[in-house]
C-alpha cells in the first residue's frame, strides 16, 4: 500500500505553484495532496498556522472583572469635604498609608452642653504613623508604661483653647489635681515619640478635657463669657461641679485601631 502519493509530471508542470522546469523535485518533502490542490489552502497546516498568528492579537480575551478590581488603574480620590466631618478641617493632608495617631486617657462622663463624641484627656499631639510603624510604636509605649501606676485626677476650671491652625475652638475643663502624675506619663509617651522622630507634647501642657467645640477661632468671644460659665459650674445645685478621672487605662488611637494599656494599682 502506498503511504504517500506523488503527482505526475504533467500535474507538476501544469500547476501554477509547481516545481520549476529543470529543477529536480525534493522527494524528502511530503505534503498532503489537498495542500497542492487549487483553492485557498485552508486545510493546509502551514496555512492554518499563519491564520492563527495573524488573528491572535485581535481575538485576545478580556480579563474577568474580579481580576480587574484587584488592580485598579486609578486610586479612589480622597475627598476633603469638611461638611462630612461636622465642618472640621484636617490639620495635615491625608495620604494613603498614613495613620493619624494620638494618646489619651478616656473619661466616662457626659455633659449636656458637649457635642463631643468622646471625652478624653490628651497626652500627645496628633502625629502621623506609617502603617508598618504601628506595632513597634505600640510595643515601645507598652514597655515604657510598665512602671506607671494608676491614679486619680480631677478638673474643675473652665478654659478656652484653640488649635495651632486656628480652625477649631474648644471649651475645656482644666485639670487641678493629678498634674504631676500626668507629666510622668507624658515623659514616657514623649520618649517613644522621639524614638520615631515625631513631635512631642507641649513644653508646658495645660491638661484638660474638651467639653464643646466650634469651627473657627472664637477665642475672644468665648473668653468674654467664660466668667459667667464658670459661675454656673461653681454654683451647682448641690456642690461645685468637678470632673473626676480614674486614670487606670491609657489608650492609643491609630487610625481605626485603639490600643489599651492598663496601669497597675
Helix (H) or strand (E) holding 104: strand 98-106
What value, to the nearest 5°, has the Cα angle with vertex 177 and ends 194 and 222? 85
First to last CA, the chain: 104
Active-site positions? 120, 208
Q: Residues near 87 by Cβ (< 8 Å), separated by ≥ 6?
A: 215
Assign residue 226 a region: left if phi > 0, alpha if psi is -120 to 50, beta otherwise? alpha
Q: Residues near 265 by Cβ (< 8 Å), separated by ≥ 6?
A: 149, 150
Strand partners, 213: 170
Q: Give one DSSP letter per residue of 217-253, joined into a string.
A: --HHHHHHTHHHHHHHHHT-SSS---EEEEE-EEEEE
Phi, psi of 257 (to 5 degrees): -110, 140
Tell me the three cell numbers of residue 206. 495645660
Amino acid at each position: 500500500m502506498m503511504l504517500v502519493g506523488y503527482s505526475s509530471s504533467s500535474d507538476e508542470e501544469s500547476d501554477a505553484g509547481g516545481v520549476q522546469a529543470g529543477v529536480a523535485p525534493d522527494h524528502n518533502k511530503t505534503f498532503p495532496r489537498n495542500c497542492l490542490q487549487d483553492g485557498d489552502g485552508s486545510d493546509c497546516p502551514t496555512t492554518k498556522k499563519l491564520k492563527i498568528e495573524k488573528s491572535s492579537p485581535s481575538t485576545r480575551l478580556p480579563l474577568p472583572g474580579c481580576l480587574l478590581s484587584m488592580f485598579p488603574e486609578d486610586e479612589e480620590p480622597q475627598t476633603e469635604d469638611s461638611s462630612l466631618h461636622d465642618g472640621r478641617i484636617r490639620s495635615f493632608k491625608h495620604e494613603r498609608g498614613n495613620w493619624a495617631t494620638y494618646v489619651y486617657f478616656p473619661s466616662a462622663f457626659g455633659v449636656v452642653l458637649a457635642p463631643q463624641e468622646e471625652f478624653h484627656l490628651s497626652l500627645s499631639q496628633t502625629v502621623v504613623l506609617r502603617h508598618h510603624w504601628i506595632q513597634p510604636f505600640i510595643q515601645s509605649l507598652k514597655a515604657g508604661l510598665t512602671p506607671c501606676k494608676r491614679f486619680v485626677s480631677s478638673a474643675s476650671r473652665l478654659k478656652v483653647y484653640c488649635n495651632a491652625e486656628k480652625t477649631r475652638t474648644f471649651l475645656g475643663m482644666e485639670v487641678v489635681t493629678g498634674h504631676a502624675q500626668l507629666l510622668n506619663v507624658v515623659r514616657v509617651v514623649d520618649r517613644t515619640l522621639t524614638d520615631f522622630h515625631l513631635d512631642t507634647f507641649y513644653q508646658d501642657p495645660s491638661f484638660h478635657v474638651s467639653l464643646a467645640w466650634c469651627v473657627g477661632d472664637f477665642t475672644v468671644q468665648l473668653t468674654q463669657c467664660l466668667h459667667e460659665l464658670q459661675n454656673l459650674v461653681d454654683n451647682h445645685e448641690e456642690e461645685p461641679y468637678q470632673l473626676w478621672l480614674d486614670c487606670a487605662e491609657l489608650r492609643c488611637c491609630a487610625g481605626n485601631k485603639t490600643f489599651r494599656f492598663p496601669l497597675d494599682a
